[in-house]
Chains A and B, each alone.
Chain A
Amino acid sequence: MESWTEFVIARYNYWIVIVLMMIGLYTVFARGNLVKKIVGLNIFQTSVFIFYITIGKVAGGTAPIYIGDELYHGDGHGDGHGDEPHGAAADHGADAGASLHAKIENDLGANDLKAAANDLTLDEGVIAGEGGHDAASLHTAPDDAAKIANEQLIDAGKSASQGFDIAADAAHGAVEAAAYHSEVIYTNPLPHVLILTAIVVGVAGTAVGLALAVRIREAYGTIEEDELEAMDNVAEFGAAAEATGTRG
Chain B
Amino acid sequence: MNFAAQLPVLPVIIPLVLAPFAMLMPNGRAPHAWATFVSWLTFAACAFLLAAVNDAGVISYQLGDWAPPLGIEYRVDLANALVLFLVSGIAAVVFPFAYASVRLEIDERQSSFFYCALLICLTGLLGVTITGDAFNVFVFLEISSLSAYALIAMGARRDRRALTAAFNYLIMGTIGATFFVIGVGLLYQATGTLNMADLHDRLLGQSNRVVDAGFAFIVVGIGLKLAMFPMHLWLPGAYTYAPSAVSAFLAATATKVAVYVLIRFIDTVFGFQFEFLGAAFTWVFLPLGLAGMFIASLVAVFQDDIKRMLAYSSVGQIGYMLLGISFGTVEGLSASLVHMFNHALMKGALFMAVACVVLRAGSHSIQAFAGLSKRMPYTTWAFIISGLSLVGVPLTVGFVSKWYLLQASFAAGFWYAGFLIVASSLIAVLYIGRIVELMLLREPAEEGPYAIPAKDAPLSMLIPMWFLVAMNVYFGLNTELTGGIANRAAEALMVMAGAGAP
Contact = CB atoms under 8 A, between A and B. Distances in A.
A126 B202 CA distance: 8
B139 A126 contact: no
Interface in A99-134: 113-114, 116-118, 122, 126, 129-130, 133
Interface string B154-195: 001001110110110011001101100110010011111110
Nearest to B62: A161
Looking at chain B's contact residues, is the secondary structure mostly helix, strand, loop, or mixed? helix
B68 A204 contact: no
B209 A117 contact: yes
Contacts of A126: 190-192, 202
Given A117-B208, A204-B146, A208-B150, A158 B135 contact: no
A106 to B, nearest CB: 19
A89 B192 contact: yes
B230 interface: no
A33 B153 CA distance: 18
Contacts of B209: 113, 116-117
A213 interface: yes
Contact of B174 (A91, A113, A205, A228): A205
B67 A160 contact: yes
Given A48-B182, A52-B185, A161 B68 contact: yes
A13 interface: no
Interface in A168-186: none
B231 to A, nearest CB: 14
A141 interface: no
Contacts of B150: 208
A89 B163 contact: no
Q: How large is the interface on B (under 10, 10 to 19, 20 to 34, 35 or more residues)?
A: 35 or more
A243 B298 CA distance: 28
Contacts of A204: 142, 146
Looking at chain A's contact residues, is the secondary structure mostly helix, strand, loop, or mixed? helix
Contacts of B65: 158
A60 interface: no
A8 B288 CA distance: 36
Nearest to A235: B161
B407 interface: no
Interface in A1-53: 25, 28, 34, 37, 41, 44-45, 48, 51-52
Given A85-B192, A89-B190, A205-B142, A212 B208 contact: no
Interface in B196-212: 202, 205-210
20 contacts: A45-B178, A55-B189, A88-B192, A114-B210, A117-B209, A126-B192, A126-B202, A130-B192, A157-B66, A158-B65, A160-B67, A160-B69, A197-B139, A205-B174, A208-B150, A209-B174, A216-B160, A216-B164, A219-B160, A220-B163
Closest 8 CB pairs of A and B: A117-B208, A157-B70, A161-B67, A219-B160, A85-B192, A130-B192, A201-B142, A88-B192
